[in-house]
Chain A
């Protein structure tokens, strides 16, 4: 039986920075079981990134409860949150993902190194992660010597090499053409299907949405629709 990876109840997030407070989330209920593949969609400013950031321990809600893998995040210190992100979450951002002075292999290894994994195991796991994404050939290249799609694949390798309980991808295709996006999404679907990786993407891109098994549609900081896709 797959357990709850994410449990969110009544999440609100208000940005006070401007003169007028911005209600980015106005009471979001959302939960996610292991091995799900969810796409967050909705118009710009609807709160997709905000929700993803709170789920990933990068931001904190103002009200409500968020649990990740059975652990409530609100009481955790910044240091604990960082450690939790390192252990449990794989992130793929839209750009500037990799350390420019490290090779593909070193970038993937680096995250294991932050986790304290020993040298031999690190090399092996990083190599395997790259191989599983068809990147073995490119492992010694630096980001500047790879295409955007190749860089995103390395970023995914880095995100999965730690065996996270959850993979978060905010606009992973924003800088990619449609052909590359398709390759990338097929990789994610493959990860989800063969390894049971739990994935949330946030996107405007209908093609990206199309790969998810469940659509959560946000509008004005609330969940407007939450439906399982049947094909």
Chain B
């Protein structure tokens, strides 16, 4: 009997403590909240570090993300497009016979629903002559009407106009200089045709471009794809690559997936996303990200040390108060909760203000764009800088925000925990008596 009664009593007690552990938690949160405001200066100092760390990471990554995306887009539009489909061997062995069937490759790209412009290209090296001057060069046969809509090169015609009809050619500025060519001159192209014979073609120079890339300006000739096929003895459907371009850059993982997606059907095709086509841009992006991350984590370490220091001070200052509470019967873990909540409130404050500041600084720039300061421009390769538009637009980097949130939240809790562990070794009478 008495055992049952006791069991019941203990049960009641257990229920009671369970119900009230939430109310004590609320009280601890309240005490923490008030302490955070009581130590306003210290709170703001710590939060300030957090604000700066968050701003640095998110702003820099958003800014760089925007620059990179634009850089990638400009680079992609300069030549390779956002995605290509090639013969599986063409990348390794760019021989004239390694072709894909135009209609099949184009439908593959169109199936993804992500490309606004799709067209074929054929290409090969050739000897180029104007009058009695000759030089080696590279001939690209393309669909002028389609490429004129997206090609950066088409927009960089310095004299004359872009390709419009068969029998025309546009050439690079340096190439024109080397050949002593001017608008209206006849350009003679001699290459090796698919059948092993001579590919010969004569075209009228209608435009001279300055692309920003010295390599292209020195070697490239563009002619309509039909002219190329005819000269090189290729069939109507044969293409070395089919190029896809979208209005919005496929810069996410999803973009890579889509561009590389192979729907099967047993036809072996090589799918390339712009990340494959522009390894330099990707490498530069990664390098810049590494240096931003390095700065962010460096500031995080400073934040962590300042939090450790703040909590050492705080625990030192409140030794008497804690001694009294421990003497009254409060448990060390309850004090620990109070300090951890305090740390959480401080980091939340820093994070919220940090995101506010970041939003305020990033949004207008996303809207209106910004010109890059000279020092920053100098940290990019001159070839790319030449292609930059006047105003660059950041893209808000949510991933950086998530990284900042998780890192700061964890870092601050741990930083606050370290000095707080002293509570467990604290003896109330000594704490009450401590001088400070």
Please tell me the number of chain B residues within 8 Å of chain A, measured between CB atoms. Answer: 27
Is A211 an interface residue when CB atoms closer than 8 A count as contact?
no
Contact B34 A101 (CB under 8 A): yes
A70 to chain B, nearest CB (A): 18
**Segment 1-58 of B: residues with Cβ below 8 Å from A:** 16-17, 19-21, 23-24, 27, 31, 34-35, 38
Is A37's beta carbon under 8 Å from chain B?
no
Instruction: Given A86-B329, A101-B35, answer yes or no on A96-B320 (Cβ-Cβ < 8 Å).
Output: yes
Query: In the complex, are the beta carbons of B327 and A93 less than 8 A apart?
Result: yes
Give residues of chain A (65-108) contacting chain B, Cβ–Cβ below 8 Å. 79, 82-87, 91, 93, 95-102, 106
A116: chain B residues within 8 A (beta carbon): 16-17, 19-21, 24
Given the known inter-chain contacts A93-B327, A99-B31, A111-B328, please indicate yes or no for A119 contacting B321, CB distance below 8 A: no
| Cross-chain contact A85 with B329 (CB below 8 angstroms) | yes
Which B residues are in CB contact (< 8 Å) with A119?
23
In this assembly, does B324 line the interface, its C-beta being within 8 Å of a C-beta of chain A? Answer: yes
Closest to B434 in A: A96
* Chain B interface SS verdict (over half): helix
Whole-angstrom CA separation of A17 from B222 in the bound complex:
92
Q: Give every chain B residue within 8 A of A118 (Cβ-Cβ).
A: 16, 19-20, 23
**Measured between C-beta atoms, what is the minimum distance from A140 to chain B in Å?**
14
Q: Does A147 contact B (CB under 8 A)?
A: no
Contact B432 A96 (CB under 8 A): yes
- Of the candidates B16, B327, B330, which one forms a contact with A58 in the assembled complex, judged by CB atoms under 8 Å apart? B327
Complex CA–CA separation, A116 to B18 (angstroms):
8
Q: Does A110 contact B (CB under 8 A)?
A: yes
A93 touching B17 by the CB < 8 A rule? no
A211 to B329, CA, bound (A): 28
Query: Does A113 have its Cβ within 8 Å of any Cβ on chain B?
Result: yes
- Shortest Cβ distance from residue B171 to the other chain A in the assembled complex, whole angstroms: 78
Binary contact track A50-66/B, C-beta < 8 Å → 1, others 0 = 00010010110000000
Chain A residues with CB below 8 A from B27, complex form: 106, 110, 113
- Which among B17, B20, B38, B331 has the greatest number of chain A C-beta atoms within 10 A? B20
A85→B327 contact, CB < 8 A: yes
B287 touches A (CB below 8 Å)? no
Q: Cβ of B20 and Cβ of A91 under 8 Å apart?
A: no
List of B residues within 8 angstroms of A114 by Cβ: 24, 328-330, 334
Q: In the complex, what's the smallest C-beta–C-beta distance from A177 to chain B, in angstroms?
A: 22
* Whole-angstrom distance between the Cβ of A93 and the nearest chain B Cβ: 6
Specify which chain B residues have a CB less than 8 angstroms from the CB of A95 in the assembled complex.
320
Chain A residues with Cβ below 8 Å from B323 are 96
CA distance A58 to B31 in the complex (A): 25
> For residue A58, which residues in chain B have a CB less than 8 angstroms away from its CB?
327, 428-429
Instruction: Flag if A100 contacts B38 (CB, 8 Å).
Output: yes
How far is the CB of A142 from the nearest CB of chain B, in Å? 9
Are A117 and B324 in contact, with the CB atoms below 8 A? no
In the complex, residue of chain B having the shortest beta-carbon distance to the beta carbon of A95: B320
B34 to chain A, nearest CB (A): 4
Interface centre among B19, B23, B27, B329 (most CB of A within 10 A): B329
Q: Complex formed: what's the CA distance from A56 to B428 in Å?
A: 12
**Size of the chain A interface, CB-CB below 8 angstroms:** 32
Judge if B325 is at the interface, Cβ distance under 8 Å.
yes
Interfacial chain B residues near A110, Cβ < 8 Å: 27
- Chain A nearest CB from B242 CB (Å) reads 70
Interface centre among B27, B38, B326, B334 (most CB of A within 10 A): B27
* CB neighbours of A86 from chain B (8 A): 328-330
Contact across chains for A101 and B429 when beta carbons are under 8 A apart: no
A59→B429 contact, CB < 8 A:
yes
- Quick one: which of A134-185 are within 8 Å of B by CB? 158
- A49, A56, A97, A102: the one within 8 Å of B31 (CB): A102
CB neighbours of A93 from chain B (8 A): 324, 327, 432
Residues of chain B with a CB closer than 8 A to A82's CB = 326, 329-331
Interface centre among A98, A101, A106 (most CB of B within 10 A): A101
On chain A, the residues within 8 Å of B329 by CB distance are 82-87, 111, 114
Bound state CA distance, A99 and B320, in angstroms?
A: 10
User: Which residues from A are CB-within-8-Å of B327?
Assistant: 56, 58, 85, 91, 93
Chain A residues within an 8 Å CB radius of B320: 95-96
Instruction: Give the residue name and chain of the B residue nearest to A85 (CB).
Output: B329
- Nearest-CB distance from B271 to chain A (Å)? 63
- Report the minimum CB–CB distance from A158 to chain B (whole Å): 8
Q: Within the complex, what minimum Cβ distance (angstroms) separates B179 from chain A?
A: 84
Is B321's CB under 8 angstroms from A100's CB? Answer: yes
**Chain B contacts of A84 at CB under 8 A?**
329
Q: Write the nearest CB–CB distance from B43 to chain A, whole angstroms.
A: 13
A126 to chain B, nearest CB (A): 13
B324 and A97 contact, CB distance less than 8 A: yes
Contact A79 B324 (CB under 8 A): no
CA distance A231 to B112 in the complex (A): 103
- With both beta carbons as reference points, the residue of chain B lying nearest to A96 in the complex is identified as B320
Q: Which residues of B contact A87 (CB under 8 A)?
A: 329
Residues of B within 8 A of A99 (CB): 31, 321, 325
Q: Which residue of chain B is the closest to A59 with respect to CB atoms?
A: B429
Given A101-B31, A102-B31, A118-B19, CB of A96 within 8 Å of CB of B331: no
Report the Cα distance A53→B326, complex, angstroms. 13
Return the chain A residue nearest B32 by Cβ: A101
User: Chain A residues near B17 (CB, 8 Å)?
Assistant: 116
- Shortest beta-carbon distance from B346 to chain A in Å: 15
Closest 10 CB pairs of A and B: A86-B329, A101-B34, A96-B320, A116-B20, A85-B329, A116-B17, A82-B329, A58-B429, A113-B24, A116-B16
Can you identify 8 A-B contacts, CB atoms within 8 angstroms? Answer: A84-B329, A86-B329, A91-B328, A93-B327, A96-B324, A99-B31, A100-B38, A113-B27
Q: A49-B429, A58-B428, A116-B16 are in contact. List 5 more A-B contacts (CB 8 A).
A: A58-B327, A91-B324, A113-B20, A113-B23, A118-B20
A binding-site residues for B, Cβ under 8 Å: 49, 53, 56, 58-59, 79, 82-87, 91, 93, 95-102, 106, 110-111, 113-114, 116-119, 158
Binding site for A on B (CB under 8 A): 16-17, 19-21, 23-24, 27, 31, 34-35, 38, 320-321, 323-331, 334, 428-429, 432
